[in-house]
């Protein structure tokens, strides 16, 4: 019988890194059970999401199935709904009622922070999941098709205006990618021209990519402007009704697309825990253990990990999440086997961002790079970090083909598909009502997701 039960909640960078370590070390043992709870049955390599949105990569290129990577860990595809550290149980959605644990690693990541602004949750497009990126690409193509049916230049310009809220890494990379994609694609539409396209990025601060410093931030802004991107600084989105973006400085931008990348927040599940938090993140000690709760650990974006030298907290980045997941798994193993724990000590090695085709900015070990060299460095670094050789080769082939051939511009989801999905959602809701199911059941959740 299994005597020790380890549960890792979350399939992001921290969660699957921890599960991979435990898969090789503890999950093989007859007296230990390791469970990974993940919303999807795959690992999503989020740094390449904007390349999916721009059609440079296929969605399947940046995901890896968990069951191919984890051979001994039990995979549970579900959402974590609540946790009870005192009773040592985790409640999940779907067919899994509760899971018991001796050690629980919380690596639930972060969610898009849709601030309570008028119309934002109803109309804004996010860039957090694989479906977000794939649907954004499809949206661009659908708007191009719709613009050809319009005779009014103002209506066409509104359809072909794309506004990004947030000038950080996600916002800047997405803006550059979408700008390249829509301007490269419009030439296949004889009734349209590039003058109708408007791409805008809104940054509340006075600098794009502030994490990289003023020099690289100014370079990124200059390069985007050279590619006809408008950069609005010192303003925030005040409201959006699906056709008009209103800014805090009084400006208004007619646009059919608002891409929201202006921040994330920790998982809502964390908020219910009676533990100390820092800006919503669960505060842990240097060993990634939650103080005062035996067997509870946290890593990744949902954890506030202290920096011993300064008393501040490590930033919630992918490179920190990967290493925190590994250290957390090692400490769980050490706690079970009675060994000393290892503190988390790590300094950021560098940060990289692309700002459109064949241009990027990077700071690595204190050295700054920009332009083509930074773009090549970005691709080399993230290609190495992409899990599994098969996916690396597929991405390499896609990038090589991209040097010689134009992007594909087929629209994968049409209006007919949307109508069919809406009808399917209605049938699922009707079926759920007949069976007197509650709104939190998998059927109702599926219907809501399809309708959205």
The domains located in the chain, with CATH, are 4-39+78-111+265-337 (3.50.50.60), 120-262+350-387 (3.50.50.100), 415-451 (no CATH)
Q: Is the pLDDT of residue 63 over 60?
A: yes
pLDDT tens column, 361-397: 998 888 898 999 999 999 999 999 999 999 999 999 9
The stretch 338-350 carries a mean pLDDT of 90
- Name the token pair of 16: 């699957």
Residue 448: pLDDT above 80? Answer: no
Q: Is the pLDDT of residue 1 over 70?
A: no
Mean pLDDT value of segment 128-142: 93
The whole-model pTM stands at: 0.87
Residues, the chain: 452
CB neighbours of 185 closer than 8 A, spacing ≥ 6?
A: 140, 141, 144, 407, 409
Q: How far apart are CA 321 and CA 18, in angstroms?
A: 10
CA distance 222 to 267: 36
CA–CA distance, 411 with 267 (Å, rounded to integer):
33
Percent of the residues in the chain that have a pLDDT greater than 70, as a whole number: 91
User: Across all residues in the chain, what is the average pLDDT?
Assistant: 88
366: left (phi over 0), alpha (psi -120 to 50) or beta: left
Question: Stretch 240-249: mean pLDDT, rounded?
Answer: 93
Q: How many whole angstroms separate alpha carbon 37 and alpha carbon 92? A: 9
Please give the pLDDT value at position 377.
93
Closest CA to 254 of 161, 178, 166, 124: 161
Asked if 202 and 260 count as a contact pair (C-beta separation under 8 A), the reply is: no
pLDDT at 347: 83
> Is the per-residue pLDDT at 306 higher than 50?
yes
Rounded mean pLDDT of 393-415?
84
Q: Per-residue pLDDT for 11 more than 80?
A: yes
Q: Which pLDDT does position 436 carry in this prediction?
A: 46
% of the chain exceeding 90 in pLDDT? 67
Q: How far apart are CA 258 and CA 256, in angstroms?
A: 7
pLDDT of 412 > 80? The answer is no
pLDDT at residue number 107: 94
| pLDDT: which is higher, 215 or 422 | 215
Overall average pLDDT of the 68-88 stretch: 91
What are the beta bridge partners of residue 231? 201
Q: What is the mean pLDDT of residues 118-132?
A: 90
| Structure tokens, 349 | 């090695």
Residue 149 has pLDDT above 90, yes or no: yes
Is the pLDDT at 444 greater than 60? The verdict is: no
What are phi and psi for residue 186, nearest 5 degrees?
A: -65, -20
d(CA 165, CA 104): 36
**In terms of Cα–Cα distance, which of 171, 245, 236, 229 is closest to 204?**
236
277: part of which helix (H) or strand (E)?
A: strand 277-278
Inform me whether the pLDDT recorded for 269 exceeds 70: yes
- Cα distances from 426 to residues 422, 447, 449, 450, in angstroms, run 6, 7, 12, 9
The DSSP string of 392-417 is HHHHHHHHHHHHHSPPP---SS-HHH
Q: What is the pLDDT of residue 438?
A: 43
Cβ-based neighbours of 99, under 8 Å, separated by 6 or more: 5, 7, 35, 37, 76, 89, 90, 92
Mean pLDDT, range 397-404, rounded to an integer: 89
Neighbouring C-beta atoms of residue 3, cutoff 10 Å = 11
- Per-residue model confidence (pLDDT) at position 341: 96
């Amino acid at each position: 019988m299994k005597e020790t039960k380890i549960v890792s909640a979350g399939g992001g960078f921290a969660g699957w890194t921890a599960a991979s370590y435990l898969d090789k070390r503890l999950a093989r043992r007859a007296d230990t059970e390791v469970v990974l709870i993940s919303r999807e049955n795959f690992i999503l390599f989020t740094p390449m999401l904007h390349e999916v949105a721009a059609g440079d990569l296929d969605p399947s290129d940046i995901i890896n199935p968990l069951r191919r990577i984890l051979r001994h860990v039990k995979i549970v595809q579900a959402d974590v709904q609540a946790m009870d550290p005192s009773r040592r149980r985790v409640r999940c959605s779907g067919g899994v009622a509760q899971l018991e644990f001796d050690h629980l690693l919380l690596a639930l990541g972060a969610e898009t922070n849709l601030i309570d602004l008028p119309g934002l949750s109803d109309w804004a497009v996010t860039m957090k999941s694989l479906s977000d990126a794939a649907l954004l690409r499809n949206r661009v193509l659908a708007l191009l098709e719709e613009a050809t049916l319009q005779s009014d230049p103002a209506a066409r310009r509104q359809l072909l205006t794309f506004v990004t809220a947030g000038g950080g890494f996600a916002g800047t990379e997405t803006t550059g990618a979408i700008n390249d994609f829509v301007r490269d694609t419009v030439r296949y539409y004889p009734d349209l021209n590039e003058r109708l396209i408007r791409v805008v990025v809104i940054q509340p601060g006075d600098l794009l990519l502030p994490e990289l410093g003023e020099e690289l931030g100014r370079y990124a802004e200059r390069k985007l402007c050279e590619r006809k991107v408008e950069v609005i600084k010192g303003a925030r989105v005040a409201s959006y009704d699906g056709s008009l973006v209103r800014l805090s400085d009084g400006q208004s931008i007619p646009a059919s697309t608002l891409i929201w990348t202006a921040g994330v927040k920790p998982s809502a599940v964390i908020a219910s825990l009676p533990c100390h938090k820092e800006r919503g993140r669960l505060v842990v000690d240097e060993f990634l253990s939650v103080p005062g709760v035996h067997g509870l650990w946290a890593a990744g974006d949902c954890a506030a990990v202290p920096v011993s030298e300064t008393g501040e907290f490590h930033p919630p980045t992918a490179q920190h999440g990967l290493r925190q997941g590994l250290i957390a798994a090692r400490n769980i193993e050490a706690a079970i086997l009675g060994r000393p724990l290892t503190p988390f000590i790590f300094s950021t090695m560098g940060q990289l961002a692309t700002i459109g085709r064949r241009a990027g900015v990077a700071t690595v070990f204190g050295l700054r790079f920009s332009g083509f060299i930074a773009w090549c460095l970005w691709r080399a670094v993230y290609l190495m970090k992409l899990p599994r050789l098969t996916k690396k080769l597929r991405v390499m082939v896609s990038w090589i083909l991209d040097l010689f051939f134009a992007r594909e511009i087929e629209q994968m989801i049409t209006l007919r598909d949307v109508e069919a999905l809406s009808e399917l959602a209605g049938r699922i809701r009707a079926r759920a009502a007949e069976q007197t199911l509650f709104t939190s059941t998998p059927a109702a959740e599926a219907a809501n997701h399809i309708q959205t």
